[in-house]
Structure 1
Amino acid sequence: MWSAQDVARDQVRRQAKGLDVAAVAGKVAEAAVRERETADQVRRGGSFSELSDPERLAAVWAAKHEEWQRVRDLMVQAGWAVYEPERDVQGSQWAQERGERRESALAARDAFEARRREAAGELRTEVWLSAGPSRLIRAAADRAGVAPFQLLAQLAERVVVNEDGAVSVPPFTPSR
């Protein structure tokens, strides 16, 4: 999830493109009003709608106000007639960082989804065996050099169910 600053920087960068200093100054004033209104609403404990998070909205407007001011100051200092996002070194760096974080988050989500899809075909279970069969499984696993759960997994992979429903496992040598 993007921070309030990330949201503000992204929106301001897109909205400011092609605006002159006077228009940006108007956006600074508008953001100041919105920042004040949302902060007041949070202090009163109100909500803007059932879907909104008043604290987050107030934080975004505070960040937008700060970012509009940064853009205005940059334009005045650099003598730009209009804002061009490509010329804004700091804004471009932040946009690149946001893009990299987004790509990283998407890759992590894709990897998680792939693992989840893969795991959907798996069966995880606990098997509680009485002492006799448990000793046999442990002894066979020790002789084969595998863990008991690995031996049980290999047994399960080789299960054969006959037409009459009888379950059996043909003889095999456990592998590591």
Structure 2
Amino acid sequence: MRVQRLARGKGLEALGGELERARDWERHAGRDEESGWLAAVEAREWDRVTDLVRTQEWPAYDADRDVQAQAWIAEREALLLARREQEERLERDRWEQGQELELYVRLPGPASRRLKALARELGVSPEQVVVLLAEHVEAAAAGLVHVPAVAVLPPAVPSAEATPWL
């Protein structure tokens, strides 16, 4: 996109000068592995832009009319958007992990038996029952708590076909 920015508004003569400078840089940079590659890429792009202006008979280069440049811009914007979404997702995950609470609870025998029986009946672990209750509990008047009816789905059991390594 550097070449497109520098070429914007330049006519064929000015583009020819830029192309010659790029070719000179390519010849001299060929001795250096790092800049040699960049110089070659830039020279090819100046060549493409110059040819485009010549063949399309434009008075000056306009990146908005350059289909290839627009495709590169769209690709770059899509990559930046995907990267930004990934960073936001990671930030949300970090925030969620920071909000986690590891809890050790010792229940008396009768409460423990009720919790285990409920978990068995629902097909989930006792820990999952506690999490479900904590997620849906509501405070009511006079210090009472209420848990509305909530659907409990047991964890999916992977099939042997879906996971051949089992």
| Same fold per superposition (TM over 0.5) | yes
2:52 to 69, 74, 78: 74
Correspondence for 2:13 among 15, 18, 22: 22
What's the TM-score once normalised by structure 2's chain length? 0.61
Alignment of 1:125-140 (within 5 A): none
Identity of aligned residues (%): 30
CA distance, structure 1, for counterparts of residue 57 and residue 102 of structure 2: 65
1:18–1:41 CA distance, 2 compared to 1 (3 A): same
Question: TM-score, normalised to structure 1's length?
Answer: 0.58
2:43 counterpart of 1:65: yes
The Cα shift of 1:72 comes to 0.4
- Gapped runs of 5+ residues in structure 2? 105-112, 138-146, 153-166
**In structure 1, what residue type is equivalent to 2:16?**
A
Question: 1:35–1:139: structure 2 CA closer, same or farther, 3 Å change rule?
Answer: farther
Which amino acid letter does the alignment assign opposite residue 27 of structure 1?
E
Is 2:30 aligned against 1:39?
yes
Cα gap change, 1:139 to 1:109, in 2 (>3 Å): same
Unaligned 5+ residue runs, structure 1?
A: 1-9, 43-53, 128-135, 159-171
Return 82-91 or 63-72, whichever deviates more: 82-91
The residue type equivalent to 2:47 in the other structure is Q
Q: Which has the higher contact order (CA 8 A, sep 6+)?
A: 1
Is 1:105 equivalent to 2:83 in the alignment?
Answer: yes
The amino acid of 2:59's aligned partner reads A
User: What is the CA RMSD across the aligned residues, in angstroms?
Assistant: 3.6
- Please list the CA deviations of residues 115-145 of structure 1 after superposition, one character each: whole Å capped at 9, or x if unmatched: 22222222579x9xxxxxxxx7876642453
Secondary structure class of the residue paired with 1:40: coil
Q: In the alignment, residue 92 of structure 2 is paired with which amino acid?
A: A
77 and 117 in structure 1: CA distance in 2 versus 1, 3 angstrom threshold: same
Q: Which residue of 1 aligns with 2:3?
A: 12
Distance 1:37 1:112 in 2: 44
